[in-house]
């Protein structure tokens, strides 16, 4: 392997990885005129430098994807044949999961064992395996003469959109790419993916997977770069039929504008959240406390579905606080994400570290009571989980998405109050509630304005189930069969069998 296209990385857990550094375009590793560093958030020091894409490389990748879409090597494949390739990708991910999880932990900071290997890589494998099975089953519909009338039928065929673009965030770099790449390939689309400039390494590994699995040239292209030039060029590109985006609401709004101003390309947006966590007095309190911890502190709180607003019924408010603070303080913080006991890694970057610090200071300034949490002096961007109590709905830490391990806790009296206050947000991604009263639980769930509601659990995600939000949290759904519809256009073909021309 060329030394300037790859580098050898030895991770703290002893894995040796031949890491790609170049862009992956048309099944080739492409150097550019400039590079940028990716930082290890556990130390604050550079891991390596990768080649930086620009608009010209977007053009190259999009051209390659469009040529591949029309090529007989891809377009003539049956669904079953596409599925075979996607399944090969799943098996390679499974085989190399420890390597990929290691580079993900190094680049992102999330715990290697509990989150990277046991969570993200396991799900990425399952996603590719799942959509491999869908490749020959998204078959369309026949509407017969018994509906349309004598001598006429119509068939509706799901047609792949063509070359599509994906833009993924830094909090789940590899898994979010899997969510987008697998269903796109299953439907027959070709793909141009942009990774986050903060976490580019595991995304580039996808190029190696594509080559080994036998994807034809141009079917998958991967760009490392920045949103201002690469992301914007993709959004405005007239030859991309769709953008699938996961990231902030503000960026999602810009993508909607750019897509409309270019070729009115289709857009799927999975954006921010400020999800409520409602605990009623008739719940299993210990269960609620455990799920509360997981729901806000998993992946360092850098999760769009994090339940960062707690609403606790006043009769159990003090007891909940006592148990939650005790549990939080009992979970030791280690500054080594490769330590098997690590449950919370460092924040992903210095920028994110400073952003969380600003919100913590603002919470104290606005009168919230800090019960637990502090920032840990370097190296790296570590902090303890933060718990704010005595909050009001007008406080900034209650209204704005922080994207860090910070929770704001308030109390409520009635069911109606809990529903009204939970819905008092511009976001609508997720919500969780705890109650042993099944009627109450389902009634409240039906009234919560969220794309996903969790009853007596939190943050659930399954490859068979649609994932996405309402209001300012996004448009469209990923996962399940629902994702396939967003990479296809339904073409209706009317068949006139014997009716004479008029």
State pLDDT tens for residues 409-438.
999 999 999 999 999 999 999 999 999 999
What would the mean pLDDT of 69-89 be, rounded to a whole number? 97
CB atoms within 10 A of CB 37: 11
Domain annotation covers residue 502:
no
294 and 356 fall within a common domain: yes
Domain annotation covers residue 414:
yes
Going by pLDDT thresholds of 50, 70 and 90, the confidence category of residue 3 is low
CA 316/CA 285 separation, integer angstroms: 9
What is the pLDDT, as a whole number, of residue 332?
73
Q: Do residues 381 and 347 lie in contact, with contact meaning Cβ atoms separated by under 8 Å?
A: yes
32 and 135 fall within a common domain: yes
The 10s digit of each residue's pLDDT in 302-314 is: 999 999 999 999 9
Going by pLDDT thresholds of 50, 70 and 90, the confidence category of residue 334 is confident
CATH of the domain at 301: 3.40.309.10
Domain annotation covers residue 149:
no
Going by pLDDT thresholds of 50, 70 and 90, the confidence category of residue 1 is very low
Within 8 A by CB and 6+ apart from 255, the residues are 167, 235, 243, 245, 267, 269
Asked if residue 379 has a cis previous peptide bond (ω within 30° of 0), the answer is yes
Domain annotation covers residue 148:
no
Q: What is the mean pLDDT of the chain?
A: 96
CA 134/CA 138 separation, integer angstroms: 6
Going by pLDDT thresholds of 50, 70 and 90, the confidence category of residue 354 is very high
CA 118/CA 105 separation, integer angstroms: 12
Q: Do residues 278 and 433 lie in contact, with contact meaning Cβ atoms separated by under 8 Å?
A: yes
What would the mean pLDDT of 108-126 be, rounded to a whole number? 96
Domain annotation covers residue 494:
no
Domain annotation covers residue 147:
no
Query: Quick check: 234 pLDDT over 60?
Result: yes
CATH of the domain at 15: 3.40.605.10
Q: What three-state secondary structure class fits 107?
A: helix
Q: What percent of the chain has pLDDT over 70?
A: 99
446 and 313 fall within a common domain: yes
Q: What percent of the chain has pLDDT over 90?
A: 95
60 and 200 fall within a common domain: yes
The 10s digit of each residue's pLDDT in 87-102 is: 999 999 999 999 999 9
What would the mean pLDDT of 118-129 be, rounded to a whole number? 97
Q: Give how far Cα 113 sits from Cα of 99, 123, 135, 459, Å.
A: 12, 14, 31, 19
Domain annotation covers residue 238:
yes
356 and 212 fall within a common domain: no
Query: Quick check: 378 pLDDT over 90?
Result: no
What is the pLDDT, as a whole number, of residue 474?
95
199 and 91 fall within a common domain: yes
Number of domains in the chain: 2
Going by pLDDT thresholds of 50, 70 and 90, the confidence category of residue 391 is very high
- Domain of 327? 276-462
Residues forming the active site:
270
Query: Quick check: 220 pLDDT over 60?
Result: yes
Q: Do residues 322 and 288 lie in contact, with contact meaning Cβ atoms separated by under 8 Å?
A: no
The 10s digit of each residue's pLDDT in 151-201 is: 899 999 999 999 999 999 999 999 999 999 999 999 999 999 999 999 999
Q: Do residues 191 and 168 lie in contact, with contact meaning Cβ atoms separated by under 8 Å?
A: no
Query: Quick check: 355 pLDDT over 50?
Result: yes
209 and 300 fall within a common domain: no
What is the pLDDT, as a whole number, of residue 294?
96
Domain annotation covers residue 493:
no
230 and 286 fall within a common domain: no
133 and 168 fall within a common domain: yes
63 and 95 fall within a common domain: yes
307 and 208 fall within a common domain: no
344 and 255 fall within a common domain: no
What would the mean pLDDT of 60-71 be, rounded to a whole number? 98
């Amino acid at each position: 392997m060329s030394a300037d296209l790859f580098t050898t990385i030895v991770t703290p857990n002893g894995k040796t990885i031949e890491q790609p550094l170049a862009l992956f375009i048309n099944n080739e590793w492409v150097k550019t005129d400039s590079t940028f560093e990716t930082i290890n958030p556990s130390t604050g020091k550079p891991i390596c430098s990768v080649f930086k894409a620009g608009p010209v490389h977007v053009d190259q990748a999009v051209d390659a994807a469009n040529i591949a879409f029309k090529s007989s090597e891809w377009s003539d494949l049956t669904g079953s044949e596409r599925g075979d390739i996607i399944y090969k990708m799943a098996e390679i991910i499974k085989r190399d999961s420890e390597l990929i999880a290691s580079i993900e932990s190094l680049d992102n900071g999330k715990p290697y064992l509990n989150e990277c290997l046991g969570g993200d890589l396991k799900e990425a494998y399952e996603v590719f395996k799942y959509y491999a099975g869908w490749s020959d089953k998204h078959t369309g519909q026949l509407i017969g003469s018994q509906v349309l009338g004598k001598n006429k039928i119509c068939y509706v065929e799901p047609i792949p959109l063509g070359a599509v673009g994906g833009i993924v965030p830094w909090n789940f770099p590899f898994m979010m790419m899997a969510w987008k790449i697998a269903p796109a390939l299953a439907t027959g689309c070709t793909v141009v993916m942009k990774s986050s400039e903060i976490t580019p390494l595991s995304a580039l590994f996808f190029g190696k997977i594509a080559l080994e699995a036998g994807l034809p040239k141009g079917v998958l292209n991967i760009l490392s770069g920045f949103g201002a030039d690469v992301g914007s060029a993709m959004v405005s590109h007239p030859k991309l039929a769709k953008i699938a985006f996961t990231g902030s609401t503000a960026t999602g709004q810009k993508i909607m504008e750019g897509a409309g101003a270019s070729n009115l390309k289709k857009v799927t947006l999975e954006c921010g959240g400020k999800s409520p966590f409602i605990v009623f007095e008739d719940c299993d309190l210990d269960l609620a406390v455990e799920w509360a911890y997981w729901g806000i502190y998993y992946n360092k709180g850098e999760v769009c579905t994090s339940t960062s607003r707690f609403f606790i019924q006043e009769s159990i408010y003090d007891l909940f606080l006592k148990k939650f603070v005790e549990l939080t303080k009992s979970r030791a913080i280690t500054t080594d994400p490769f330590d098997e006991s690590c449950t919370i890694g460092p924040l992903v970057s210095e920028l994110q570290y400073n952003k969380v610090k600003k919100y913590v200071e603002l919470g104290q300034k606005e009168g919230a009571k800090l019960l637990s949490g502090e920032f840990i002096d370097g190296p790296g961007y570590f902090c303890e989980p933060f718990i704010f109590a005595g909050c009001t709905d007008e406080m900034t830490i209650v209204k704005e998405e922080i994207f860090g391990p910070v929770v704001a806790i308030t109390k409520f009296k009635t069911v109606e109050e809990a529903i009204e206050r939970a819905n008092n947000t511009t976001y609508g991604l997720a919500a969780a509630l705890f109650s042993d009263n099944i009627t109450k639980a389902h009634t409240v769930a039906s009234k919560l304005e969220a794309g996903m509601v969790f009853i007596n659990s939190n943050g659930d995600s399954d490859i068979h189930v649609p994932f996405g939000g309402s209001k300012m949290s996004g448009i469209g759904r990923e996962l399940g069969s629902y994702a396939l519809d967003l990479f296809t256009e339904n073409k209706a073909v009317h068949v006139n069998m014997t009716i004479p021309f008029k």
